Amino acid sequence: MKILGIESSCDETAAAVVEDGRKVLSNVIATSLEEHKLYGGVVPEIASRRHAESISGVVKEALAQASCTVRDIDAVAVTYAPGLIGSLLVGVNFAKGLALSSDLPLVPVHHLRGHIASNYITSDIEPPFLCLVVSGGHSHIVSVKSYTDFEVIGRTRDDAAGEALDKAGRTMGLAYPGGVSIDKLSPEGDENAFKFPVPKVSTSPYDYSFSGLKTVVINIVHNAAQKGEDINTADLAASFQNAVVGCLLTNLEKAAVDFGFNKIVIAGGVSANSKLRSRAQEMCDSHGWSLNIPELKYCGDNAAMIASQGYFEYLGGVRADESLNAYATMPLDDVQY
């Protein structure tokens, strides 16, 4: 079965053709990132306009690279939630039009379920497993019971890990996205140079909080500026990254032990982080657990992951019609169409 996936939840306009959920035939991504860099973050208006301009060309290119026409496609899968509403609507409306005009089934896909599925295209892993999903908007520990049955065990109570990295990077004067800049700069710094507290979260031992760590960075930078002192940005970046990765893995490890998982998966934009990847490997090796993290090119937003998850949702009987809407927020383990 060939699924055409369409993704437009943030600043990437993406389309891909994936066969039977795991074999990527094409994966095309256009991004408006360079324009957003000017403003230090994604400007929703600009992202929506660029999606509207790029989407037909990106879908055509994805079909061409897969040596397909729309007649070779068995279903259209589209990200409908969560994300920037104006951005999501471009993909959803395009997918609805294409599905209707080509008489193809339309499959709505939750963006974070797509991130988890990026592991199906880079390895042969099958559920059940425990997954840390870390992106710009979400930080979740998820029990993946089957391809379409999920339970969120832990979540951030405030900022997502990626959001905290991006905001801290901006405070340090680094280029957007801060997560990428911090990852690049950190090897030049001493990760023990600055001490960060361990955030206390009262809701659950698996929940996260990153806004306090981000505030520590803001205070360090502002205090130094007021005193006219220089700080070593590489030291601060490395120390902050180490603190964020430490929090992510502490709760993940606890959840894996408490719920008895020995298959660990990481997904989402922050899964590209080199420190997270290496420390997660050490953690899993020390317990004898398996670890899957997508290849770097599938960590960030892409449509191959949407086509992959779309395949499994399709097999599970999920269908939408032309009344499908987009939603800025939507729980991963209790989706509505």
245 binds, among Zn ion, ligand KG4, none (CB under 5 to 8 A by kind): none
CB of 71 to ligand KG4, least distance (A): 32
Contact between 157 and 183 (Cβ < 8 Å): no
CB of 209 to ligand KG4, least distance (A): 17
Nearer to ligand KG4, 63 or 141 (CB): 141
- DSSP SS3 for 175: coil
Nearer to ligand KG4, 183 or 191 (CB): 183
Nearer to Zn ion, 43 or 315 (CB): 43
CB of 272 to Zn ion, least distance (A): 11
* Binding interface with Zn ion (CB under 5 A): 135, 301
179 binds, among Zn ion, ligand KG4, none (CB under 5 to 8 A by kind): ligand KG4
Q: How far apart are CA 209 and CA 200, in angstroms?
A: 8
For tokens 């109570």, name the residue: 157
Q: How far apart are CA 35 and CA 45, in angstroms?
A: 12
- The amino acid present at 181, given as its one-letter code, is S
CB of 42 to Zn ion, least distance (A): 12
Nearer to ligand KG4, 49 or 297 (CB): 297
Contact between 136 and 273 (Cβ < 8 Å): no
The total of other beta-carbon atoms located within 10 Å of residue 71's CB is: 8
Backbone φ/ψ region at 308: left (φ over 0), alpha (ψ -120 to 50), beta:
alpha
Nearer to ligand KG4, 166 or 235 (CB): 166
* Binding interface with ligand KG4 (CB under 6 A): 10, 135-137, 162, 165-166, 177-180, 183, 268-270, 272-273, 300-301
CB of 84 to ligand KG4, least distance (A): 10
Contacts (Cβ under 8 Å, ≥6 apart) of 213: 164, 168, 196, 197, 199, 240, 243, 244, 247
189 binds, among Zn ion, ligand KG4, none (CB under 5 to 8 A by kind): none
